[in-house]
Amino acid sequence: MNQNRDGTKIPIYRHQMVIFTSLFISYVFYYLMRKSFSLILPELLITSIIDQNDAGIILSAQSISYTISKFIGGILSDRISAKILFINGLFLSSLTTVLFAFGPQTMTSFTILWFLNGLAQGLGWPSLVKILQQWTSSKQFGTYYSVLSASANVSGGLSPLLATLMTRSFGWQNTLISFGVVSVFISMISSLMISNCPEDIGLAAINQETVKMQESSIKWKELMKSPFIWLLSISYLVVFAAKTTACDWGQLYLIDERQKSQLIASTFTSSVESGGFFGAILAGYLSDRLIVAKKTKSSNCCDRLPVATAMMALSTFALHSLCFHVDSSTSHLFIAILGFILGLAFYGPIIIFGMVATEAVPTNLSGTSHAIVALAANIGAIISGLPFTMFAQLYSWKMVFFLLELSTASIVLLLAITGHRLRPDFAKKND
Domains and CATH numbers, the chain: 7-193+210-419 (1.20.1250.20)
Q: Which of 345, 308, 338 is nearest to 323 (CA)?
A: 338
- Residue 125, CA distances (Å) to 160, 170, 231, 244, 387 in order: 22, 31, 21, 16, 25
- What is residue 205's predicted lDDT score, i.e. its pLDDT? 66
For 381-409, how does the pLDDT look when each residue is reduced to its tens digit (9 = 90+)? Answer: 888 888 898 999 999 999 999 999 999 99
For 178-224, how does the pLDDT look when each residue is reduced to its tens digit (9 = 90+)? Answer: 999 999 999 999 999 888 877 777 776 666 555 444 545 556 667 77
pLDDT-based confidence at 63, cuts 50/70/90?
confident
For 241-272, how does the pLDDT look when each residue is reduced to its tens digit (9 = 90+)? Answer: 999 999 889 988 999 888 888 888 888 988 99
CA distance 45 to 52: 7
Q: Which of 197, 195, 194 is nearest to 186 (CA)?
A: 194
CA distance 309 to 412: 6
User: Whole-model pTM?
Assistant: 0.76
